[in-house]
Amino acid sequence: MATTTDTDPIHTDPPPNKQIFILSGQSNMAGRGGVLKKLRRWDGVVPPEAHPHPSIFRLSAKKHWEAACEPLHADIDTKKTCGVGPGMVFANGVRERVGTVALVPCAVGGTAIREWARGEKLYEEMVKRARDSVKGGGEIKAILWFQGESDTSTEHDADAYQGNMEALVANVRRDLALPSLPIIQVALASGLKYTDKVREAQLGMKMENLVCVDAMGLELQEDNLHLTTHSQVILGQMLVDAYFTHFAPPLSNECHSSSH
């Protein structure tokens, strides 16, 4: 198997009909599964559901396509140690039905929703990466969003969460010229004092083509904040189910073009 280094990545362009998914939010989307907090290193364990596959690609921090593998966010969320997130599990779960999957990691740990407002660095970089991802062909199919822990520490931030998230959804759809872009949001599994208030906002949002999966109850690491590797596998599969239930065209073995 070929190996790469940070100075010698293998750039592989996916086919032009690729299905693109944006991964965004904070640390649980970036992935902390298997990260040993005290040692500040990842244990390197990749569950079978998150293994690389020739039809799964990722857009690197330098905006080159390459074969996707864990940790997906290593060159994006650079101030922390990244491990297993839900992205590769999701990609493996959808690839057999959708074909080539192209992931665009954008999540950064410890970031509040206000840092994802239009005009802020994180938001603008996410939009720029999304636009770059379609330059060689392909279609952005959904944004997978897992964020909010950083908004649970004060009542003010928790109260403002729903309005800020609704603005983010509206802005990113406008800026990408995709008015019906599907968004799959994850309701928090952890947080601080006002977690319930942020979760209530996440679970209660009523916007077209915005659905929510609930991570509450998934096993957390000993920091009571980050999902374990096993939990990330479950979450990735929940995201697959949500995508196919709400957004993917149904499977069919027959042509409906003239079946009336």
Residue 226 annotated in active site: yes
Q: Are 137 and 238 in contact (CB under 8 A)?
A: no
Rounded Cα–Cα distance for residues 80 and 49 (Å) = 24
Residue 159 annotated in active site: no
Judge residue 38's burial from the number of C-beta atoms within 10 Å of its C-beta, 0-12 exposed, 13-18 middle, 19 or more buried.
exposed
Rounded Cα–Cα distance for residues 165 and 241 (Å) = 23
Q: Which of 24, 27, 133, 190 is catalytic?
A: 27
Residue 223 annotated in active site: yes
- In sequence order, which residues have a C-beta less than 8 Å from that of residue 255 and are 6 or more positions away? none
The pair of three-digit structure tokens given for residue 203, joined into one six-digit string: 């679970």
Q: Which of 13, 43, 196, 223 is catalytic?
A: 223
Tokens 């991802």 -> residue: 133
List, by residue number, the catalytic residues: 27, 223, 226
